[in-house]
Amino acid sequence: MTKKIYDFCIIGNGILGSTLAWKLSEKLKNNNIAIIGPKNKFGSASVASGAMINVFAEIEDGFQDYKPLVKRFELGYRALKLWKSHHKEIQDKSGKKIQIKWGTHILNSSNGTQSEDSTFLYLQKILKNKNYKSKYELNIDPKNIEGVKTQHRERPIRSLKVEDGIVHSGELLNAIDIILNKFNQLDIFDNEAIKILVDKKNIHKIYLKDKSVLSSKNIILANGAYAQNLIKDNKDLTQNIPELFYGGGAGIDLIFNNYSNKFRKANFAEPKNAIRTLDRGNACGLHWLPFRGGEYYLGASSAIFTIPESNVRAASISYLLGDASKQFSPIIGRSNIKEIKFGFRPVSADIFPLIGETHIKGIWYLNGTKRDGLTMSPYIINELVKLLINGKSMLPKIFYPSRKLISYYNKEKAIIKAIRSISSKEHTHGMTLTDGGNYEEYYDRLKDEFLKVYQKHNIKSFGIHPELLPLYKNNLIKSKRSIK
Ligand SMILES: Cc1cc2nc3c(=O)[nH]c(=O)nc-3n(C[C@H](O)[C@H](O)[C@H](O)COP(=O)(O)OP(=O)(O)OC[C@H]3O[C@@H](n4cnc5c(N)ncnc54)[C@H](O)[C@@H]3O)c2cc1C
């Protein structure tokens, strides 16, 4: 065991752990700081993302009616305003160029459901809301969006453009790693934490895979969904903090293949900006992100696991490629696959973030950001640094980790949302009703199924987020202490 006592040990080297290590080291020149994380960043959501700086395109229909959703949206909105200077600072300090591009086309596709239509209309309303200033263009004819070329039955019926951008996640992570190497007081461990031991005298311990042990006054759990493993033997933590699940997701790096263009009459254009659909039930929309030199990122699949699968499911890749080729352009199917990326979104047991100090002094969470942690990173890290140093910040207290589960609206509304979400997901993946358009009967069937899940757990008013329903159905969720 090394005798050094760290002031701050950060476990996890994805976008959140790394950005925190940088910002904290910059502010605290005389403190001992450590970051622990394997060089290959296994399972990292940040590595698997493209990534979108996704704020408006990610909105949920009706979010303004529910405070926790507003608070969550605002983490992204505030981050959006910081991204330009954040990006410049990373480039300046690392000496590396990082591709970034502003403006995202959102398609409302004839392939979507009425739920997608109503989210599209809701987004138009939010864009005009004076509380959330941003650049946007309404009523863009989808025919005029460079890159979009669909078959008739998959055609977009309308589109708009929001300020949301894209940033090359690989370049971003590499550049921050370069910055980290510049701090003398920061120790970087290419290693894996296997256990933490909480100490009453506030000198906590971290056991590493290579059998070394670190001591620290503060431990920050920023290793995504894997954080659950580190606390599993500590009842005080497991019983008081919503558990974390593995939100498996895949994206594909593609390279434009000009070969087929040469021999066909049709000339498929490449996109100039990000093109995406809205939330389609349990997944961020389908998104196509153009980078330099004919390279694209296509994302993303989504499925929640209690134990991480070692690689992506074949069906996820088939859906991604099939849907995107039809709904964006056949150019996608004709591209070459450069790499398939797979990682785990940190998904908490109520879907809301877990950021701040736990009820145990010196044990902190920087976690649970699910599908927009990269977007939120500049804002939540700035605020967490303030909280770590001065004990005050703008981070919403409702997202502090030692808390009861936050209800998703209430039972009634959550069931309606689940019907919309699940039917949207099934529809996206090719479902057609045998009985023509008898959606009412289909919705009733879903409702009965969901009510049974609520009955099974004797839940009277708490609302379960649609994505977590399968975990409740299969008795895979433990943090139920606060649910009524
Ligand atoms: C396919 C996909 C697409 C996405 N697209 C977007 C997007 O477009 N925009 C967006 O904002 N967000 C997106 N997200 C979500 C976003 O990636 C996450 O919210 C964010 O990256 C979480 O960052 P993190 O640092 O908390 O976790 P991670 O990036 O998961 O990092 C955790 C790190 O901890 C390390 N680690 C694990 N266990 C240990 C241990 N025991 N000891 C030490 N280190 C350990 C891992 O190797 C990893 O490097 C996407 C996610 C996925 C999966």
Q: pLDDT tens digits for 38-62?
A: 999 999 999 999 999 999 999 999 9
Confidence (pLDDT) at 426: 85
**What span, in angstroms and rounded, lies between the C-alpha atoms of 128 and 163?**
13
Residue nearest to atom 19 of ligand 1 (CA): 373
Tell whether ligand 1 has an atom less than 6 A from the beta carbon of residue 228.
Answer: no
Does the pLDDT value for residue 261 go beyond 80? no
Give mean pLDDT, residues 462-483. 85
Ligand 1 lined by 382 (C-beta under 6 Å): no
The mean per-residue pLDDT over the stretch 109-127 comes to 92
pLDDT at 133 > cutoff 60: yes
Ligand 1 centroid–CA 257 distance in Å is 30
- pLDDT at position 477: 84
- Given this model, what pLDDT does residue 263 score? 59
Examine the pLDDT at 369 and tell me if it is beyond 80: yes
Instruction: Tell me which residue has tokens 């970051």.
Output: 35
- Does the Cβ of 37 fall within 6 Å of ligand 1? yes
Percent of the chain scoring above 70 in pLDDT: 96
Rounded CA gap, 427 and 214, in Å?
A: 50
What is the model's pLDDT at position 322? 93
Q: Which residue CA neighbors atom 11 of ligand 1 most closely? A: 372
Residue 107 has pLDDT above 90, yes or no: yes
Nearest CA to ligand 1 atom 47: 41
Which two structure tokens, joined as six digits, stand for 2? 């090394």
Ligand 1 neighbourhood includes 192 CB (under 6 angstroms)? yes
Query: What's the pLDDT score for residue 437?
Result: 78
Helix, strand, coil % (nearest 5) of the chain? 35, 25, 40
According to the model, what pLDDT value does residue 400 have?
98
pLDDT tens, residue by residue, 395-452:
999 999 999 999 999 999 999 999 999 888 888 878 888 877 788 899 999 999 999 9
**Structural tokens at position 174:** 């590499």
> What does the block give as tokens for 363?
């044990």
Instruction: State which of 371, 376, 377, 384 you would mutate to test the pocket of ligand 1, scoring each by most atoms of that ligand within 8 A of its C-beta.
Output: 371
Summarize the confidence of residues 58-81 as an average pLDDT: 96
> Which string of DSSP letters, residue by residue, matches 106-137?
EEEETTS-HHHHHHHHHHHHHHH-TTS---EE
| Distance from Cα 43 to the centre of ligand 1, integer Å | 7
CA-nearest residue for atom 6, ligand 1, is 49
Pocket of ligand 1 contains residue 49 by CB under 6 Å: yes
Mean pLDDT of the chain: 93
Give exposure, 409-439, as e/b (b: 16+ Cβ within 10 Å). bebeebbebbbbbbbbbebbeeeeeeeeeee
Are the beta carbons of 338 and 156 closer than 8 angstroms?
Answer: no
State whether residue 328 is helix, strand or coil.
Answer: coil
- Per-residue pLDDT, 268: 74
Q: Is 50 in the pocket of ligand 1 (CB under 6 A)?
A: yes
pLDDT(318) > 80: yes
Work out the average pLDDT over 337-360: 97
Residue 343 alpha carbon, nearest atom of ligand 1: 53
369 CA from centroid of ligand 1 (Å): 9
* Ligand 1 geometric centre to CA of 49 (Å): 8
Residue 44 CA, ligand 1 centroid: distance in Å: 4
Give CA separation, 437 vs 153, 154, 280, 292, 447, in Å: 17, 18, 20, 44, 17
Tell me what the mean pLDDT of segment 104-130 comes to. Answer: 93
Mean pLDDT of 181-199: 97
Give tens-digit pLDDT for 228-240: 999 999 999 999 9
Residue nearest to ligand 1 atom 14, measured at CA: 371
Q: Does ligand 1 have an atom closer than 6 angstroms to the CB of 38?
A: yes
Q: Which of 226, 298, 249, 221 is nearest to 467 (CA)?
A: 249
Percent pLDDT > 90 in the chain is 85
150 near 327, Cβ under 8 Å? yes
> H helices of 57-199, where?
67-80, 83-94, 114-128, 169-180
Query: Among all chains, which residue has been given the structure tokens 């005050």?
Result: 392
Q: What is each CA distance from 433 to 218, 323, 448, in whole angstroms?
A: 55, 19, 18
Pocket test for ligand 1, best of 13, 23, 44 (most atoms within 8 A of CB): 44
Cα–Cα distance measured from residue 327 to residue 169, given in angstroms and rounded to the nearest whole number: 24
Peptide bond connecting 274 to the previous residue in cis, omega within 30 degrees of 0: no
Burial class (CB in 10 A: 0-12, 13-18, 19+), 380: buried
Residue 260, pLDDT above cutoff 80 = no
Residue 208 CA, ligand 1 centroid: distance in Å:
20
